[in-house]
Amino acid sequence: MALVNTKKMFEMAYKNGYAIGAFNVNNMEITQGIIEAVAQEKAPLILQVSRGAREYASNSWLKAMIDVAVRENPDIPIAIHLDHGDTFKTCKEFITDGFTSVMIDASSKPYEDNIALTKEVVDYAHKHNVVVEAELGQLGGIEEDIVGVGHDDISKHLCDPEQVQDFVKRTNVDSLAVAIGTSHGAYKFKKEPKLAFDILEEIGKRLPGFPLVMHGSSSVLKEFKDLINKYGGKMPDAMGVPEEAITRASKMGVCKVNIDTDLRMALTAKIRQIFAEKPNEFDPRKYLGPARDAIREMVKHKLHVLGCAGKAKECS
């Protein structure tokens, strides 16, 4: 199967109450670990590339690695996505380079500007059979007891379901990243994790069938956090989104779940462990290999949390 866009994946995910994992790729070991996991679990996949990834590895290298993954796994539907595209020009470049999905993130702009830029990208992308994700609201934690729609302070940052309806209608966008209390990185909550599920519920009533996206959805797995802290790292207060919350969201219209931090932590934890336990090791294959294995096992586990394990065929 050639690269696909996310249309069929999202249709099946919404209908059957699961989500597709969208994993950030930055190098060969990360890419291979993810691919081995979806191949073993027969899961559909979204591989995403950020601007930082492109600056680090270059677009042509990342795209070439992904092309190999697609060629070697003909039974797995794979979409290749630009994560957090910031301008029309960037989105256009990625579309020209063969990406099947792009995100235009104009969420920090005024509402009408976000609409105008998103619409410009959608009009161009759809002519090339490429789907578009946009974003409404600002990512960030929900502090203390302030949760959900209707609260004056927090509703300024979280996404407003009424605006979602208007935004989707006016832009014709294919999916939308909604701010419900998650944030990027390893420090998502100061105390107890809280997400505004009421926003998902309200959007589901207003726009049934419309696919939503959750950014900042790493769980900061205890296994890797403990290894990092044990072997010289310093991430004592790291906290992620509980996996039960991810599973719950995947049954409420969230069809794409973005994961990067958990990949970084798995890789870092394994490398730290090997450096500490075998200080004379200097063959990169001896520490990058186990790090790649750790990524594979972590992603396999995630595919079950998301509910998309075994769904490759129905998404093809």
Active site amino acids = 83
Give the binding range for ligand G3H (CB under 6 A) out of 46-54, 115-123, 186-194, 200-208.
Answer: 46-54
CA distance 100 to 46: 10
Binding partner of residue 52 among ligand 13P, Zn ion, ligand G3H, none, CB cut-off 5 to 8 Å per kind: ligand G3H
- Site for ligand G3H contains 83 (CB under 6 A): yes
Per-residue burial over 222-231, b = 16 or more CB atoms within 10 Å of its CB, e = otherwise: eebbebbeeb
If you write DSSP's letter for every residue of 15-59 in order, what string do you get?
Answer: HHT--EEEEE--SHHHHHHHHHHHHHHT--EEEEE-HHHHHHH-H
DSSP letter at 184? S
- Based on the shown chain and the rule CB under 6 A, indicate whether residue 53 belongs to the binding site for ligand G3H: yes
**Binding positions for ligand G3H, 224-283, rule CB under 6 A:** 260
In this complex, which beta carbon is closest to ligand 13P, that of residue 48 or of residue 274? Answer: 48
Which of the ranges 9-17, 47-55, 272-280, 305-313 carries the binding residues for ligand G3H, by CB under 6 A? 47-55
Position 52 contacts ligand G3H (CB under 6 A) = yes
Distance of alpha carbon 125 from alpha carbon 74, whole angstroms: 25
Q: What is the dihedral of CA 69, 71, 77, 80, to 10 degrees?
A: 60
Quote the CA–CA distance of 188 and 185 in Å, as a whole number.
7
Name the residue with tokens 């072997």.
231
- Give 147 or 238: the residue with its C-beta nearer to ligand G3H: 238
DSSP E strands in 86-199: the ranges are 101-104, 131-136, 175-178
Asked if 185 touches ligand 13P (CB under 6 A), the answer is yes
Site string for ligand 13P, 191-230 (x = CB under 6 A): ------------------------xxxx------------
Contacts of 16 (CB under 8 A, 6+ apart): 307, 311, 314
Residues 51-90, mask of contacts with ligand 13P (x by CB under 6 A): --------------------------------xx------
**Residue number with CB closer to ligand 13P (102 or 274):** 102
| Residue 138 within binding range of ligand G3H, rule CB under 6 A | no
- Token look-up 């969201």 returns 249
Question: Which 12-41 residues touch ligand G3H, going by CB under 6 A?
Answer: 24
Contacted by 217, from ligand G3H, Zn ion, ligand 13P, none: CB < 5 to 8 Å by type = ligand 13P
Coil, strand, or helix at residue 226? helix
Q: Which of residues 239-298 bind ligand 13P (CB under 6 A)?
A: 258-261
CA pair distance 42, 1, nearest whole angstrom = 14
46 vs 315, which CB is nearer to ligand 13P?
Answer: 46
CA distance 302 to 199: 24
Report in angstroms how near the CB of residue 135 gets to ligand 13P at its nearest: 10
- What is the size of the binding site for ligand G3H (CB under 6 A)? 9
Contacting positions for ligand 13P (CB under 6 A):
24, 83-84, 184-185, 215-218, 258-261
